[in-house]
Amino acid sequence: MRNRSLAGTVAIATALATAAALALSGCSSDTSGTDFATSTPKNLEGTVSFWHFFSDREADVIQSVVDDFEQENPGVTVEVHSGQDDEKLRKAIATGSKVDLGLSYSTDIVGNFCSTGAFRDLNDVIERDGVDLGQFPDIVKSYTEFDGTRCSMPVLADAYGLYYNKDLLSAAGFSEPPKTLSELETMADALTTYNDDGSIKTLGFNPMMGWAENSAAHYGPLAGGEWLNDDGTSAVGSSGTWNDLMEWQEAYVQKIGYDKLNTFTSGLGQEFSADNPFQKGAVAMNLDGEYRTAFIADQAPDLNYGTAPMPVLDGKDDLYGAGYITGNIAGISKGSKEPELAWALLKYLTTDTDAVVKLANGLKNVPTTADALASPDLDLPDQFTTFLDIMNDPNSATTPPSPLGAGYQQTFQDFWNTYQDGSVDDLQAGLDGVDQAIDDQLALVTGP
Amino acid sequence: MLAPALLGLLIFFVYPLVASVYYSFTRYDLVSPPEWIGLRNYTYLFTQDPKVWVATLNTLWFVVFLVPIKIIFALGIAGLLVRAKRVAGVWRTVFYLPALVPPVASVVAFVFLFNPGTGPVNQVLKFFGIPGPLWFNDPAWSKPSLVILGIWVMGDIMIIFLASLLDVPREQYEAASLDGANGVQQLRYVTLPNIRPVLLFAVITGVIAALQYFTEAAVASTVANGKAVVGEGTGSALGYPDNSLLTYTQWLYVRGFANYQLGYASALAVILFVVASVLLVLLLRRFKAFTPENAA
């Protein structure tokens, strides 16, 4: 009798929990915020919550620009939450936490945040306040909007190019960096040295995909690699733009020896530590972002190095000068109760020339407005000029926003990581499989 | 009396479980309201997901190899420690100590020890003329490398086995010995039946832990690939090398938090729950048959 009573209680409680779960799950995302005003507010007063991912020194740079904003807007207080990655930002927005303005390190979230409304559409306030989008490079504009919804603004950019050790190149008889991948391979072979047992001692260039900044996204501009069709489906296999690049990379890995290269690579220092292999001279040429100049200045100030655009696939000479572009983006959360304050701060961070220059000088990233790019106040090392040029190159490319986030890139990257060990016989069949996997995932997310 | 416990059970177990089941039938990105799509997530899971099977097989590999190997070693060491007469406390401490090291720290240490290029393990092997494998950098060796780590940190189970073995009545061994039972027979008919509850506990918690295997594999992949941050995104090394360390729960995490597919991730979670439940029922039945009465 007692047991039956307990069983009955559990059954009723479970039923109640089920009903509550269903009810709560239906309204868990109801996080409505305040609408933008129809005209630009004359007075700004209140507190705005600003979430960003930076920490330590970089967080101080952000804080200094926020301080400038507060000085210019004495009625506004900015609550800064540093060290908040995309996962935390998304959870905060989803649960209705007080986050007005969010700054992300990844353009990969734009497609999803725009399409789901996690970040608000800014088109109306951009038009209302007459913000000139022409001040941003086209490529930057492309990765801050999705399907006509501009839900984010660019907060500096990253550009990727080739770093080369001038001393090592000079010792091997080279005075200029390579411009094609065959030149790169020839030079890298000459720059590679071996130990007595045949293992690699120093490497001219490390082609191992997945190592450091070697990724499909960063390699794409070397061959004009296409990612997505206009309808969002995968173009990786169908476009045929990746095959030659992948075959070159795989052949080069096999020429060095996959296991030999793997052994050498596994013994290299961590990318963002002072043991970075390029900074230590273990690798003579390396693909990396403009931010490396700041690391070198800090961790290896005596390194004699140069920068150049990455060499391009043979036969694609017209692409030389281009590189991969990405950047930080910021948007206003759907649940913001202070959208006008958030918009004012967002405009300041992304369009005020002094603020953009100060951020660029402090973070050593590429500025994203025309005025800031041309500003005499930019205080960047000589090697940085390469990245400003890459930023302005018409063939520079980015990874397009998608509702899948970075999922489509990861699918392709996984295949390439496998392909390079020489175990894949039919490259095109593999790439077709990549297309299918991406399209299936897209259908799951957006389909009926 | 039961009300607080029942309330806790409802809030922290029943509600999340029911909510997960509900979300598994929806398209849900955490921001937009869930959209009912019926069995679409399950259809995708079983017929289209490109990595769920490799993640499942990797996870089952750990269930099949890591759990029994760890238990056998823990039981073996505990058996030796029972016989230790001198400085027994020191030996117990030595074998238990690694279990106190945080998992992330122990994995990082192991990856450095087994580094093919600079690690001391391959240096020693090389000294003896043995070419060392690539360990965590080789798809064929990455999982066995984690099993070696699992053996090193088996102290938590070992200490429970030790306590259980010390509780086995000596008279039973003496009686078995008088009946002519050899060591293997004593283990089969005296030791194992006596420690059956502890063995059951070790197997069940081991299987559950293996099904949820995440931290060690994720950290090993990240460190071996030279990355600084464990997590999702294009810079992620989860699964490295060549998806050999991609476990089911890592894949669930990627789909839920990197690809924003909480509905699909819920479907993955539900399947994991069902598989774990079935496995546990099978184990319980197997152990039920393995009673002292049935052992004979």
> In this predicted model, what pLDDT tens digit does every residue of B44-100 receive, in sequence order?
999 999 999 999 999 999 999 999 999 999 999 999 999 887 888 899 999 999 999
Report the C-alpha gap between A300 and B70 in whole angstroms: 45
Residue B259 has pLDDT above 60, yes or no: yes
Q: How far is B241 from chain A (nearest CA, A)?
A: 9
Comparing alpha-carbon positions, the chain B residue that sits nearest to A445 is: B27
Inter-chain residue contact A418 with B227, CB threshold 8 Å: no
The pLDDT, as a whole number, for residue A3 is 47
A405: left (phi over 0), alpha (psi -120 to 50) or beta: left
Report the alpha-carbon distance of residue A340 to residue A125 in Å, rounded: 9
Cβ neighbours, 10 Å, residue A44: 18
Q: Which residues of A touch B233 (CB under 8 A)?
A: 86, 106, 108, 406, 410
**Per-residue pLDDT band at B244 (split at 50, 70, 90):** very high
For residue B127, how far is the Cα from the chain centroid?
Answer: 34
pLDDT in the model for residue A339: 95
Q: Do B137 and A210 touch (CB under 8 A)?
A: no
Give the C-alpha separation, A208 to A210, whole Å.
6
Residue that has been written with the tokens 């079983």 in this structure: B46
- Cα B35 to its chain centre, rounded Å, is 35
Cβ pair A355, A68 in contact under 8 A: yes
> Considering its fold, how many domains does chain A have in total?
2
Peptide bond into A301 cis (omega under 30): no
Check residue B291 and give its pLDDT.
61
Residues A222 and A241 in one domain: yes
A312 vs A100: CA distance, rounded Å: 42
Q: What's the rounded mean pLDDT across residues B174-178? A: 93
Torsion of CA B154, B155, B160, B166, to 10 degrees: 110
Residue B185 has pLDDT above 60, yes or no: yes
* Nearest-angstrom CA–CA distance, A34 and A343: 12
Q: Determine the straight-line distance between the first and last CA of chain B, rounded to whole angstroms.
A: 42
Supply the pLDDT for residue B191: 94
Work out the widest C-alpha separation in chain B, in whole angstroms: 73
B140 close contact with A: CB closer than 8 A:
no
Is residue A18 included in any domain, yes or no?
Answer: no
For the record, the structure tokens of A261 come out as 């290269």
How many angstroms away from the CA of B118 is the closest CA of chain A? 5
For residue A334, give the amino acid letter: K
Measured between beta carbons, the chain B residues lying within 8 angstroms of A10 are 6
Q: What is the pLDDT of residue A26?
A: 47
Confirm whether A3 is domain-assigned.
no
Q: How many CB atoms lie within 10 A of CB A385?
A: 11
A334-371: buried (b, 16+ CB within 10 Å) or exposed (e) per residue?
A: bbbbbbbbbbbbbbbbbbbbebbbbbbbbbbbbbbbee
Q: How far apart are CA A357 and CA A366, in angstroms?
A: 9
* C-alpha span between B187 and A292 (Å, rounded): 62
Asked if residue B32 is part of any domain, the answer here is no
Q: Are B106 and B98 contacting, i.e. CB atoms less than 8 angstroms apart?
A: yes
In a shared domain, residues A176 and A260 = yes
Inside any domain, residue B27 = no
Q: A164 and A153 share a domain?
A: no
Count CB atoms within 10 A of the CB of residue B272: 17
- Quote the CA–CA distance of A409 and A217 in Å, as a whole number: 7
Contact A20 B48 (CB under 8 A): no
The pLDDT value given to residue B235: 54
B122 within domain boundaries: yes
Fill in the DSSP letter of residue A106.
-
Domain count, chain B: 1
Mean pLDDT within B260-273 = 95
Q: Which residues of A touch B261 (CB under 8 A)?
A: 444-445
Is residue B211 a part of any domain in this protein?
A: yes
CB A186 within 8 A of CB A174: no
Same domain, A439 and A290: yes
Beta strand pairing call for A325-332 and A153-165: antiparallel
Other beta carbons within 10 Å of B274:
10
Q: What is the pLDDT of chain B when averaged over all its residues?
A: 91
- Select the residue of A215, A270, A437 nearest B50 (Cβ to Cβ): A437
DSSP state of A78: E
* In-domain check, residue B240: yes
Cβ-based contacts of A267 with chain B (< 8 Å): 115-118
Measure the CA–CA gap between A288 and A161, rounded to whole angstroms.
6
* Beta-sheet pairing, A305-308 with A153-165: antiparallel
Residue A161 CB neighbour total at 10 angstroms:
26
Query: Which residues, 6 or more positions from B246, have their beta carbon under 8 angstroms from its beta carbon?
Result: B51, B54, B55, B58, B217, B221, B238, B239
What is the spatial distance between Cα B21 and Cα A225, in angstroms, rounded to a whole number?
40
What integer pLDDT is reported at residue A2 of this predicted model?
Answer: 45
- Which residue of B lies nearest to A13 if distances are taken between CA atoms? B10
- Domain harbouring A240, CATH code: 3.40.190.10
Which pLDDT belongs to residue A5? 56
Q: Do A318 and A199 lie in a common domain?
A: yes
Give one DSSP letter per residue of chain B, joined into a string. --HHHHHHHIIIIIHHHHHHHHHTTEE--SSSPPEE-TTHHHHHHHHT-SSHHHHHHHHHHIIIIIHHHHHHHHHHHHHHHHH--SSHHHHHHHHHGGGGS-HHHHHHHHHHHT-TTT-HHHHHHHHTTPPP--GGGSTTTHHHHHHHHHHHTTHHHHHHHHHHHHTS-HHHHHHHHHTT--HHHHIIIIIHHHTHHHHHHHHHHHHHHHHT--HHHHHHHHHHTT-S--SSSTT--TTTTTTTT--HHHHHHIIIIIS--HHHHHHHHHHHHHHHHHHHHHHHHHHHH-SHHHH-
Structure tokens at B291: 């009673």
Q: Does B58 touch chain A (CB under 8 A)?
A: no
Give the one of B15, B40, B116 whose C-beta lies nearest to A263's C-beta: B116
Contact assignment for B48 to A440 by CB distance below 8 Å:
yes
Per-residue pLDDT of chain A (448 residues; tens, 9 = 90+): 444 455 565 555 555 555 555 555 544 444 678 889 999 998 899 999 999 999 888 899 999 999 999 999 999 999 999 999 888 898 899 888 899 999 998 898 899 899 999 999 999 999 999 999 999 999 999 999 999 999 999 999 999 999 999 999 999 999 999 999 999 999 999 999 999 988 999 999 999 998 999 999 999 999 999 999 999 999 999 999 999 999 999 999 999 999 999 989 988 888 888 899 999 999 999 999 999 999 999 899 999 999 999 999 999 999 999 999 999 999 999 999 999 999 999 999 999 999 999 999 999 999 999 999 999 999 889 999 999 999 999 999 999 999 888 889 999 999 999 999 998 999 999 999 999 999 999 999 987 7
**CATH number of residue B132's parent domain:** 1.10.3720.10
Question: How far is residue A167's CA from residue A336's CA, in Å, rounded to a whole number?
Answer: 53
**Interchain proximity B19–A118, CB inside 8 Å:** no
Q: Does B236 sit within 8 Å of A405, measured CB to CB?
A: no
In tens, the pLDDT along B187-218 reads 999 999 999 999 999 999 999 999 999 999 99
Would residue B24 count as lying in a domain?
A: no
Structural domain includes residue A223: yes
pLDDT given for residue A448 in this prediction = 73
| Cα A63 → chain centroid | 22
Between chains, do A24 and B44 touch, taking CB under 8 Å as contact?
Answer: no
Chain B residues whose CB is inside 8 A of the A406 CB are: 232-234, 258-259
- Spatial neighbors of A66 by CB under 8 A, at least 6 apart, are A50, A78, A80, A345
Q: Answer yes or no: do A414 and B236 touch at CB < 8 A.
A: no
Question: Is ipTM over 0.90?
Answer: no
Does B110 touch chain A if contact means CB atoms closer than 8 Å? Answer: no
Q: Quick check: is A26 in a domain?
A: no
Q: Supply A98's token pair.
A: 């007080």
For A67, the token pair is 């301080």
Helix intervals (H) in A224-336: 243-256, 258-266, 277-280, 292-299
Q: Count residue pairs from A and B with Cβ separation < 8 A.
A: 156
Do residue B48 and residue A418 have CB atoms under 8 angstroms apart? no
pLDDT above 80 (res B296) = no
Nearest-by-Cβ selection for B258 from A269, A406, A440? A406
Whether A440 and B232 lie within 8 Å, measured CB to CB = no
Same domain, A142 and A227: no
Confirm whether B40 is domain-assigned.
Answer: no
Nearest-angstrom CA–CA distance, A365 and B150: 43
Domain of B200, in residue numbers: 50-295
In a domain, B257, yes or no: yes
> Residue A157: is it exposed, middle or buried by C-beta count within 10 angstroms (0-12/13-18/19+)?
buried
Distance, in Å, from the CA atom of A326 to the CA atom of A158, rounded to the nearest integer, reads 5
Q: How far apart are CA B217 and CA A373, in angstroms?
A: 44
| Model pLDDT for residues B129-163, shown as the tens digit of each residue | 998 899 999 999 999 999 999 999 999 999 999 99
pLDDT band at B32 (very low <50, low <70, confident <90, very high): confident
Q: Based on the domain organization, do A179 and A147 belong to the same domain?
A: no
Query: Domain containing A225: what range?
Result: 160-323+402-446
Report which residue type is found at B125.
L
Q: Are A373 and A391 in contact (CB under 8 A)?
A: yes
Please list, residue by residue across A309-318, b when 16 or more beta carbons sit within 10 angstroms of its beta carbon and e when fewer do: bbbbbeebee
Which two three-digit tokens encode residue B42?
Answer: 């399950």
